[in-house]
Structure 1
């Protein structure tokens, strides 16, 4: 996936907001005000920071060279995924969905219920 395809996919998720709190180079995607993905381009490579379960993140970073502990994030709960040939589209979409769901799970029940209706 290229950067625009990733952005297009992210924007299909319910209640997404796009923000630039860290400057024009870092796209921050939020669900109901809570960050779940950061997208940037570094040295020509698209990177996306995503939230994940600590055990899953540890496994991913040990298996894939394109996935490493989250850059400028809590390294236990976030990973940075560099978009290379190693990362298949289905896997990336799954990681994005998982990040979204982990953040949604921490929202108030009324907000979770509203999102469940939209999905």
Structure 2
């Protein structure tokens, strides 16, 4: 009963076991970076470029789902004037624009099914 238990140790004194304990967490972080963080950063960069390229007569969709046409871009400000119906103009913040509606060209039409 007076004999203490003996535990086996590797030649490096347990340094490799510490690294091996953190290896799964490092691997999980790397996977999260390439699967979640990096694509989200790319999408945010594209959205900032889209907002910076807004100009007059662009058809836009706001975050609230309102379709409209940009009638005036106020330089040096985050505001846009958008016409949502004939003679109905509202001022919206540039950040609320979720997308720009691109017109479909005449030669890009989808052929009818027969």
Greater RCO, 1 or 2 (C-alpha within 8 Å, sep 6+): 1
- What's the TM-score once normalised by structure 1's chain length? 0.24
Larger Cα-atom Rg: 2
- What's the TM-score once normalised by structure 2's chain length? 0.24
